[in-house]
Structure 1
Amino acid sequence: MAVLVSLCAGRLFQLQALDSSAYAQSAAEKMQYTMTLHPSRGTITDRNGLVLARSETAVDVTADPTHTTEDAAEIADVLVAHLGGEPADYLEPLTREGTRFVYLARKVPSATYQRLAVDLQERGLYGVFRESNPIRTYPGGTVAANVVGFVNGENEGAAGFEYSMNRELAGVEGSEVYERDAQGNKIPLGTQEITPAVNGTSYQLTIDSELQWMAERRLAQEVEKADAASGTVVMMNVRTGEVLAMANYPSFDAAQPGEADPEDLGNRAVTDALEPGSVQKVLTFAALLDAGLITPETKVTIPTSVASGDGRITDADDYTGARLTATGVLAKSANTGTVMLSRDMSKEDLARYLRSFGLGARTGIELPGEATGFVPGPDMEDYTFDQISFGQGLSVTPIQYTAAVAGILNGGVYNPPTVIRSATDKDGEPVEVPRGEPRRVISPEASTQIAQMMEAVTGEGGTGVSVQLDSYRTGGKTATAERFDSGCNCYRGYTSGYMGFAPAEDPQIVTFVQIDRPASGRYGSVVAGPVYKDLTQLALQRYAIRPSTTPAYEGRLTW
């Protein structure tokens, strides 16, 4: 007995005197529980404050199997009553061995969990807990879905603006460390340490939801009518580079991305680079005007065709012998006349102008997956130079081209395009948004001249005469581009386009419509022009832009 008492006393001395701190720390660690505090993801609104994406309070339902195994069947029945599903869905995690943490359900509305918690408490059932995990909602559904994007099951940006600005929107996670008893309840006077979560940055986009909705609806109508593969629309403020609408069709519902075709989850306006066709002539003529190589009155006699490389360049319509001014060449979209005029410019200068207009490089718009497009270098072949002048041999994205034309019309000053109007932090304080620097691309004189020549396109004798607006002067350029098919390494099918702006005397809104592979109709003025006309007419009136009071520019098309 003396030996036994001595052993017990020695062990007691070891526990209380020698190893007391170590055992106390071990006990404290077993009582401690760390819970992640999720930040509230930043809200995304349109330029008028309408919510496009926001987070709503929700929780993940968790459990400690060491406390739920014995009552698993009864707890499972309560879970089914509040969360749905079958008892079998919950029995396995509730009785899982070798762990004290399992997930039972994700993103459960807070009100639902509160009812569940009360029910469990009244039944004397313990071991079920919660972790904050907000739900992301998209009130607009399909409106601007390709721009806004969506989040995945982990509340991380998976597409669109949600993806490209995920770090800023997500914020910083916090944590709560506290002591709990054997039943999992927080000990009121126990140790508690809280590191608050930092909510994400909220963004106001430049997108106008109502204009965006109309653009999506009108584009869908025309794509369906033309039995086309897809279509895009970009509407931009000429003076600032702000994108007012960026529509895609087919599109998807941001609240249900899993139900969409994966090909429709991107944003063709920034990811798809195609040969622009005759709308490219606007950039060619802007460069020629700025370089002083032509004036709107420069005279050309149109031949039947022009030799280029191993082939010959012709026109869609027969202009043989026609005596056209440079304005007339653009208005009638004569390929041969464009080639003849552009040959006065060097390859180096044309490549330099196109690069300065933003072609062949990403614009830097705050959206993911932007393509660079392709512009040949100064060492291009002679026939490639000829092709580029009227829209073949290079590729551009809709956002690249729209920004380029906006810069040309903005007195010759290019503003990098943007979809961000402003940003605020968790406290509502303004956050600085990086902006690209404006740059001059052509002279003010050349800007005025190209705007007048584009207005002639919509006048009598121009290819865009059917795309005039009510009460507003307008300018534009049609495109019926042969579509290059990499499968056969040949041209197959068409891409119909229309680039337009208004008012012609004071450019404020520029709109580019592109409809890919139409099966019914192909001419830009017929397939894409009506979309431009309806949307621009709406936008001008929506922003209270005064109707034109001066007569339209009447440049001579012939001599």
Structure 2
Amino acid sequence: MVQGLVSRAGWTGDPGSGRGRPPARPPAVLRLGNPGRRISIGLIGMTFVLSIFAGRLIQLQGLDSKVYAAKAAERIRPEKLPARRGAITDVNGHELALTLEAREIFVDPGVVTTPQQRDRVATALAAELSVPKEQIMAKFAAGGRYQQVAAAVDPVVAQRIMDRDFKGVGSKHRYRRDYPGGNLAGTLLGFIGADGSGLSGLESTYNKLLAGRDGEQLVETGAGGQRIPMTGSTLQTPVDGGSVRLTIDRDIQWAAQKAIADQVKAVGARTGSAIVLDAQSGHVLAMANAPELDLKNWQKTAPEDWVNRSVTDVFEPGSTNKVITAAAALESGAVNPDSVFSVRDNIRCADQVLRDSHPHPVERLTFSGVVATSSNVGTILAAQKVGDQKLYEMLKRFGFGTRPGTGLPGEEAGLLPDWRKWSGSQRCTVAYGQGVSVTALQTASVYQTIANGGVRVTPQIVAGTTGAEGAFTPAAPAGRTRVIGQDTAAQISGMLEAAVSEEGTGNLAAIDGYRVAGKTGTAMRYDAKCQGYCGYTATFVGFAPADKPRLVVLAVVQDPHRGYYGGEIAAPVFKKVMTFALKSKKIPPTGTKPPAVRIRAGE
């Protein structure tokens, strides 16, 4: 019993054998570390690490601060926030020029580096953007970190491109200018350049209002040149542009353009213009030119066809000018509508023999008949009763020699030499519209004055503007000037009605059911290329209804090659445009009959 206990306590081996091993060595004692020493070692390590950080901070913020600040600044760049350009509308609010959402597509040649990558990206972009693949490959070859591929892409197309997830291809929010009518009022509206500024027409004249004010923000880019999201800070918020409302009627503009373009083509002419005015307000309802400028492809058009020929091209007005001679003669009291003239088919003026448009025996024409039959000789005889100075002053009062006042780009004043400088033959030719020059708008304004009872109203083409805040500001009232007396205007109107009758030169301008007053014009055309008179200018201008005028229409065709008389070339254009405009404006016939006008003595 005692042996068993001893064995359990420390003895190993067999208790009965009498032999055994010595007791095992006692286990090692665990000694606890010194806490103070551990803390000291930890603090030393932390101090070492922090000293490294501190040294680096001193280097970054002290010694090398300017270097790193400059590098950081290089990654922050300003970015324009484009303003939305305002619209140009017709008098009824139909948009003639408007701004649509667009996207700019660009590539980063520094990211798209391998030939295989560039070929794949260029192939895809060329197909989506409808541009030559070589053009896009050239952008990669140009190097740098940013190359614009397309400035104004439809958002749907841009999204298809971005959905391909090409590295190194990006897009930016932009706007693009659109002209729904294509060439509708093209030279009048004008166009904008790649930078969004107006380059011609009303886009140029009203550029400041339409453009608004671009904004700006700062953005940060990464080392690869890509913009870092959520890093933009706005410096200036963009202000959208205002809009311009015109007096132009879209439908009448379309009809005028079609009529003049068709006739220019039919007679093989060089150019043509058609204008429609409101007889009472002077508002321009249409201003058409042929050829007209396609605003969606203006880059493909020669610069000489960018101009608005209705206000820039000057020409000798020919017989349409005879109404001014008639006004001077009637206002002076030298003649009246029934004054009789013995008219031959030619007359000598200084060293020149001037002729009527066709040979005829001596005719005894009333002054009304002189105007109605468009006799050059009869007009000269009347002008001689007036005198050069009074005729010159009447031309000035009708606006010759001064700009019409619309404010359109390139608006010309024409040419009106001082009467004291007129040559011997010019003293006669000015009476029937040669030796002076005008624009199409100036000629239309003369007939607006007669149609308006002798009061000239400055032509207006802008009805008003709308600012960025949305408030509409009407244009200032047009200037009004009494040029001739109301009775004189009525007498001339009667003569012009006779000119559209069967006995007049403008019978092709007659409109069934309406009383029409108008005048033909056929003038020799001065051409700088041939350094003299080459070809003709054919014109017709008039108004309706003659007894209660509402609309004035002018048609002028330059250098026609199949016919040249105003009565056969321009009068049909007048008829088409006036007929459409009367219907469009819902102007009914007055139902009255024209007064009898004596053309020849004894009638």
Q: Normalization by structure 2: what TM-score?
A: 0.83
Structure 2 letter corresponding to 1:313: L
Match 1:208 to one of 244, 249, 253: 249
**Match 1:450 to one of 483, 492, 501:** 492
- On the 8 A contact 2:538/2:556 being kept in 1, the answer is yes
> Which of residues 488, 495, 499 is equivalent to 2:537?
495
Q: Structure 1 pair 225/90, CA: closer, same or farther in 2 (3 Å)?
A: closer
Return the alpha-carbon distance in structure 2 between the equivalents of residues 83 and 432 of structure 1: 47
Q: 1:390 aligns with which of 432, 435, 439?
A: 432
Give runs of aligned pairs for residues 227-376 of structure 1, distance below 5 A: 227-376=268-417
* Residues 22-56 of structure 1 deviation map (CA, whole Å, 9 limit, x = unaligned): 46753542332311112222212222222222121
Change (3 A) 1:196 1:223: same
1:42 aligns with 2:106: no
- The answer as to whether partners of 1:470 and 1:537 remain within 8 angstroms in 2 is no
Cα distance in 2 for residues equivalent to 1:458 and 1:91:
65
The answer for the alignment partner of 1:472 in structure 2 is 514
Deviation of 1:17 after TM superposition, in Å, equals 4.8
Q: Aligned partners of 1:87 and 1:331: how far apart in 2?
A: 66
> Which of 112, 124, 137 in structure 2 is aligned with 1:81?
124
Change in 2 beyond 3 A, CA 1:23/1:393: same
Which is further off, 407-416 or 156-165? 156-165
Q: How far 1:424 moved relative to its partner?
A: 1.2
Q: CA 1:70–1:477 in 2, change beyond 3 Å: closer, same or farther?
A: closer
CA contact (8 A) 1:301 1:322 kept: yes
Distance 1:531 1:198, change over 3 A: same
Residue identity over aligned pairs, in percent, reads 33
**Deviation of the 1:501 alpha carbon:** 0.8
CA-atom RMSD in angstroms: 2.8
**1:450 Cα deviation (Å)?**
1.4
Aligned pair count?
A: 547
Secondary structure of 1:313's counterpart equals strand
Structural mapping, 1:373-452, within 5 Å: 373-379=414-420, 380-433=422-475, 436-452=478-494
Rounded Cα–Cα distance in structure 2 between residues aligned with 1:467 and 1:112: 51
Give 1:260 shift: 3.6
| Superposition deviation, residue 262 in structure 1 | 4.5
| Deviation for aligned residue 1:278 | 0.6
Check conservation: 1:179, 1:192, Cα contact below 8 A: no
Specify whether residues 422 and 83 from structure 1 end up closer, same or farther in structure 2 by C-alpha distance, changes over 3 A only. Answer: farther
* Cα displacement (A) at 1:94: 4.7
Q: Give 1:136 deviation, angstroms.
A: 1.6
- Residue identity matched to 1:137: D
CA deviation after TM superposition for structure 1 residue 70, in Å:
5.2
Q: Report the 3-state secondary structure (helix = DSSP H, G, I; strand = E; otherwise coil) of the residue aligned with 2:404.
A: coil
Q: How far is 1:277 from its partner? A: 0.8
Displacement of 1:503 after TM fit?
0.4
Give, in whole Å, the separation in 2 of the partners of 1:463 and 1:93: 64
Structure 1, residues 339-390: CA drift from partner, whole Å, max 9, x if none?
A: 1111222323222221221212221324322222111113123421211101
CA shift, 1:394, in A, is 0.8
DSSP-derived class of the 1:473 partner: coil
Aligned to 1:546: 588
Question: Which SS does the other structure have where 1:133 is aligned?
Answer: strand
**What do residues 238-285 of structure 1 show as CA deviations (whole Å, max 9, x unaligned)?**
111111122222234221123445443332211211111111101221
- Which of 82, 98, 122 is 1:54 aligned to? 98
Q: Does the CA-based 8 Å contact 2:279-2:451 persist in structure 1? A: yes
Q: Which residue of 1 aligns with 2:74?
A: 30
401-410 vs 163-172, which moves further: 163-172
* Deviation readout 1:134-176 (Å, 9 max, x if unpaired): 2222211122222222223333323332233333322222111
Equivalent residue letter for 2:153: V
**For the Cα contact (< 8 Å) 1:302–1:319, is it kept in 2?**
no
Work out the CA distance in 2 between the residues paired with 1:369 and 1:327: 37
* Residue correspondence of structure 1 range 100-115 to structure 2 within 5 A: 100-115=145-160
User: Which of 185, 188, 194 in structure 2 is aligned with 1:144?
Assistant: 185
Which deviates the most, 309-318 or 175-184? 175-184
Larger Cα-atom Rg = 2
What displacement does 1:180 show?
Answer: 4.0
What letter corresponds to residue 260 of structure 2 in structure 1? L
Please list every run of 5 or more consecutive structure 1 residues that lacks an aligned counterpart in the other structure: none
Range moving further from structure 2, 261-270 or 214-223: 261-270
Q: What is the aligned partner in structure 1 of residue 555 from structure 2?
A: 513
Counterpart check, 1:222 vs 2:263: yes
User: What's the offset of the Cα at 1:304?
Assistant: 4.5
- The answer (yes or no) to whether the contact 2:447–2:542 under 8 Å persists in 1 is no
Q: Distance in 2 between matches of 1:70 and 1:526?
A: 68
